[in-house]
Amino acid sequence: MDAGILKPFGPSILKAKIPDEIILKLNDYVDQIIDDNEKSKSLNYGTALAGDVTQEFKLEQKFAMDSGWANFLAKCTKQWIEYEYNKKITEFKLIESWIVRQFKDEYNPVHWHSGHISGAGFLKVPDSFGSFSQETKDNKKYMGGSLNLVHGTKQFLSGSIYSIKPKVGDFYFFPNYLMHTVYPFKGTDQERRSISFNAFINENIYNVYGD
């Protein structure tokens, strides 16, 4: 598995690479849904999600299984948890996986997910996310289009925000409660296409309080 553990702050984060063949299958599937108005309506997930974006829709469970996407998520999650806790999970239940199609001036506000394990990654990114105007860019970091993971408060040697520049194939696994947001971008009409998921694992491993 082409992956590595990241710990920029409290919760563990797993960064993994989506295999190229799965990226191709996912993008072909998304393009077919976009062209099918009836299926786009039936799979619409926008009313259940926080984003102010062009389109959000669920992946069909059968496609998630047949394409290898569900297996990729399960395999990465199992190896991540085993590394962190030295425990093997025996349960991985994919609740849902969905696509977010974001274009310029659109955004995803700070939010968190359901389930136990969540994640987000990238299937398409614009050639450029734009930049500040000449008058405002001095001494500022442009955040347009970035995925930002948020936890705790800023402290000495401990930041509260981990900012991620999207790259096709990069996928980040994190606990469901980890807050995150995507800032709007500008300067292009190209699509920022991402994919996310929620899943359950063994309750006795997730529930560290043992209640």
Supply 205's token pair: 């491993």
pLDDT in tens, the chain (211 residues): 677 677 655 788 999 999 999 999 999 999 999 999 999 999 999 888 888 999 999 999 999 999 999 999 999 999 999 998 899 999 999 999 999 999 999 999 999 999 999 999 999 999 999 887 655 566 678 889 999 999 988 888 777 899 999 999 999 999 999 999 999 999 889 999 999 999 999 999 999 887 5
Supply 169's token pair: 């194939």
User: Domain for residue 85, yes or no?
Assistant: yes
User: Domain for residue 211, yes or no?
Assistant: no
What's the CA gap between 101 and 53, in Å, rounded? 7
User: Domain for residue 32, yes or no?
Assistant: yes
Q: Angle 69-85/20-35 helices, nearest 10 degrees?
A: 130
User: Domain for residue 208, yes or no?
Assistant: no
* Containing structural domain, residue 173: 3-203
Total domains in the chain come to 1
Give the global pTM.
0.91
What's the CA gap between 135 and 125, in Å, rounded? 26
User: Domain for residue 143, yes or no?
Assistant: yes
Among 3, 148, 21, smallest CA distance to 81 is for 3
Q: Which CATH number goes with the domain that contains 16?
A: 2.60.120.620
User: Domain for residue 7, yes or no?
Assistant: yes
Distance of alpha carbon 203 from the chain centroid: 22
User: Domain for residue 123, yes or no?
Assistant: yes
User: Domain for residue 152, yes or no?
Assistant: yes
